[in-house]
Structure 1
Amino acid sequence: MKIIASILMIGLFLSACNSDTDKKTAAKENNVKTVLKPFSDSTKMDTFKVSLSGSKPKEMLLTFHIISFDGKEIYQKVLKATDLLDNYKETVDLSKEKSQRNFMADEFNFFLEDENFLEPAVTAEETPDQYTADKAFYEELKRSNLNGFKYRISKETKVYIAWSILEKKVKIYYKCC
């Protein structure tokens, strides 16, 4: 009976130690978000991944990746917290480090929201305007009917990206307000 009680005590001790490790791992993983959506193919799922690294705003980075359904990284964008914060300091009170960290946490949390996934990237009724980065690519997107994604790089600028079947890469098709 003492042996069974000892084994149970050791098991409880080990599980308590492991749960602390699991909590630390989960806390680190909270700075990474992943969403699966069709992007480079209309039926196969690509992985959209965003991470926030750094503990102080001066060293924080918001890193965005798209990994295709076949495991290849097809897009990466790194946004420095200092650049994002500079773009918003006139309209948002970012004078304190805590408010800067909170702002970056909000940017991280909203990055992969459903509203940023554009299905399709360009509809047949849409026409290019002065903010269209590449009119030929815009027309390609109308024909391919592939999805797009948008993210903001400042309070006044959003970048719209999509997969080019012809060039086999992610390209910007619209950049605007």
Structure 2
Amino acid sequence: MKKHFTYLLLILAVFAACKGNKTKVSEDDLKKNLKGHTVLKAFSDTLLLDTFKVVLKGQKPADMIMNFSITAHDGAKIYQKDFKATELLKNYASTLDLKKQTKQLEFMQQELKLFLDEENFLEPAVTENENADANTPDKDFYNELKRSGLNGFKYRLSNETEVYIAWSTQKKQVSPYYSCCK
């Protein structure tokens, strides 16, 4: 009887060790998959392609920063925005279960994957039949985009807020042209 109990205890110990190891491997796999993404799209010019890049830096969600940049076709960096993982996680805490680090890593991986999704590229940024409203910070820039036909890009700041950006040929910089709720 004692032998059976010892074997049972040994089997349970091996099972527990294997199960605990899978969780660690899962977290390591998630960290390896937190690579950056790059997309080439016409943005500051209607014909030439700019480089959109998003990279996640850091090992733990508490230290992570998602870095978004746009580099023009001539090599000049025209936009740079950093998002702290803690801020992104905080913005979704009420709607998602993000208490465990594994869930946080999964969320950050999903955010990274969706950031440069095709639906976020707006061609053109503003169509002829669209009109500026209360969520338009600069009506002159909005009208410039209508005339130029340049493309736009949108990204989420939170579960409820999206920011739309585009290249201003007059100001020679990327600026927001719309910010609103989803």
- Relative to the length of structure 1, the TM-score reads 0.83
The 5 A counterparts of 1:96-175 are 96-175=100-179
CA RMSD after TM alignment: 1.3
Normalising by structure 2, report the TM-score: 0.81
Radius of gyration: which is bigger?
2
Report the AA paired with residue 77 of structure 2: E
SS of equivalent residue, structure 2 residue 53: strand
Distance 2:177 2:76 in 1: 21
- Contiguous gaps of at least 5 residues in structure 1: 1-26
What is the aligned counterpart of 2:71 among 58, 63, 67?
Answer: 67
Q: How many residues align?
A: 151
Q: Which amino acid aligns with 2:94?
A: E
Identity %: 57
Q: Distance in 2 between matches of 1:30 and 1:111?
A: 13
In structure 2, runs of 5+ residues without a counterpart are: 1-30
- How far residue 145 of structure 1 moved from its aligned partner, in angstroms, is 0.4
Which secondary structure does the structure 2 equivalent of 1:154 belong to?
Answer: coil
How far apart, in 2, do the equivalents of 1:28 and 1:50 lie? Answer: 15
State the shift of 1:28 in Å: 6.7
Equivalence for 2:25:
none
Shift of 1:107: 0.3
Any idea what the Cα deviations from partners look like across 1:23-64, whole Å, max 9, x if unmatched?
xxxx97961111000000000000000001111110011100
